[in-house]
Structure 1
Amino acid sequence: MNTTHTPRIAVIGAGPGGLTCARVLQRHRIAVTVHDAESGPGFRDQGGSLDLHEDNGQLALREAGLLEEFLRLCRPEGQEMRQLDPSGNLLFHHAPEADERFKPEIDRGDLRDLLLNSLEPGTVRWGHALRSVDGPAEGPRRLHFADGTTLEADLVIGADGAWSKVRRAVSDATPDYSGVSFLEAWFHDIQHRHPDIAELVGQGSAGVSDGERGLFAQRNSGDHLRVYFIQRVPADWIADAGLTVEDTAGIRALLLDRYRDWSPRLRRTITDNDGPYVHRPLHALPVPHTWEQNPAVTLLGDAAHLMPPLGVGVNLAMLDGCELALALANSDTVAEAVHAYEATMVPRSHAWQRLLDHGAEELLSAELPDFVTDSAH
């Protein structure tokens, strides 16, 4: 970047997109700080497994100089996919070839550690929950954090997810509830404690749906597995039932009733989970999500284009972060970089938003998913 002064770049959010952006910036000797609301990298469980695609997520890791290390960490066997009916009959099975690397799996926590460990010490400033962004539109922008500190930046990058505080500086849009919720259940030491469920799911993932309710089970590393119960319900359906998310026994009884017509083997995913459930209502931004371009603020990932969780979110976030960093490295000014980045990112995200609009409903469809149809041609 050929500027008369070194721009002050602040990334908000230490997720895969924000960390990818920071890593690529540092590879091009551009200074950056990352600010995250969590108190540290081990503050919470990072979630389940991700498939990183060759044509977006892996491209970003290549630019970050981390692709080879990712390929050593990932689980190619996790590309196995099964689709069953509610009686437990196998409808479709994809077993990956030995050299298949199109979308291998990696745990979210492992991916985050890979990116965090690649950054210069002190890049991420933990415990920095953003409260608001103000200052002139042309910059510099002023960041106000919950701990009372402030910071000026020539570019603020909103990588802070679905409920982005940075987004408010450029857009009035807020995510809407899709009408579909996930309820996440965990299983540990599955080969010994849950061998029947391990056999049912295989080395990758297994999906089941009947048009009204669904289930998606997915292997994680370390002999763990997660199951997501998918339902078309009000956002506060647990409270409506007189329960709290901590009431594992009550929720389990409710699920057993709702899935009462499914096979006993599948219902073991309801009765045998280890620990409490995690409620994950699905939200999405308006389609398409647009904003007036701003030379000192931009967005990436879910902050820019929150969509249903159909396998592209993290991949697009990482590609966004990579392309924004490259635009900053190859432009004369921050404003030029933002313009170049958004000229590519916005149309791409709009195309994906339209493609996946109401995609949460498709998770409940009793018809075979697209990957089955595609595999037959």
Structure 2
Amino acid sequence: MAKRPVFEEVSDPTASRPVKTTGMIDAAPKGARRAIRLWLVVLFALVLAMIVLGGATRLTGSGLSIVEWAPVTGTIPPMSDADWQSEFDAYRQIPQYTEVNAGMSLSEFKQIYWWEWSHRLLGRLVGLVWAAGFLGFLAARKVPVGWTPRLLGIGALGGLQGAIGWWMVSSGLVEGMTRVASYRLAVHLGLAFVILGLIAWYVMQLSRSEAELLRARRAGEPRLFGISTGLMHLAFVQILLGALVAGIDAGRHYTGWPTMGGEWIPELIWESHLGWRNFFENPATVQFIHRMAGYLLAIFAVVVWLRARRSPHPVTRGAFTAMLVAMAAQIGLGILNVLHASPLPLALIHQLGAVVLFSLILRARHHARYPIETSVRGTRK
């Protein structure tokens, strides 16, 4: 090989090198993360309102006032006296009217009708907001890579929720039933919380870039994430038990606390003729299980909080403290509901408290997996 002169000019060694590219996480286009996050926040608020309005519909006994499922034509309420009379006549054919509300006037019927109609209308609005947002982002090609199945899944679960809503209502229209089946109500509420939880998790995911989340996960705390996942599951079970309580008005029985009617274990906790149906139809059984699960959930929350105190991340510790405060408030609301036989305003606040608590558990769980690291001075890195 020929020798090169000492002072020979050479080309820039970097000129022929390929341009360094980043991984898929940072590749363009990144999608409209901020806009999608805002859209999901709106959906979260609508689903929250749906849960609260659904609770009011159940507690006012309004859920069976509309006896048919008309997803399109049912959007328009009765517009004339003849229309109102037709709706009322249909209601008077079901057992709830003949066995519970016999003699109800048309004006009284209108009061329960508007609760159910508003609940169904809000459900349609949730579907429209989801469809408009999803199709709009999809058409504009602004959905981040990998997010299309997640956002589509929310819409699919929303459609399933509408079908389950009618499945629930139809259970109260048959002979011998004066309200919806409590277990179907629990399924309906449970799916609402699944949808709400997914939306909340996606909002938290979209609040930070994929690259930041990847770096944060390396500093995550697997054990804290694991036990907070267990706490989330137990809280979800407690929510389902609360639906069973609401389904048979068990919260308006045994209004004492800490005992139930002066007994630690109520005498009527098991009625032999009901068999396994005690777990769904016996107010003593349902309320007792709901109370015991609440105590267990509170103890578990304290255990998780104590574990979180050892986290090196201040934001994570703060998230679990907020969760514990919400847990204490929810327990207090539950006791007040028992002592006052679950009046409508207090019962709705208790249901809203369940949403807040569940969301804060999810938030703390997210910080356990994707902690926000701070410097010694307490500023975010």
Structure with more helix by fraction:
2
Tell me: higher relative CO, structure 1 or 2? Use CA pairs within 8 A at least 6 residues apart. 1
Report which of the two structures shows the higher radius of gyration computed on alpha carbons.
Answer: 2
TM-score w.r.t. length of structure 1: 0.28
TM-score w.r.t. length of structure 2: 0.28
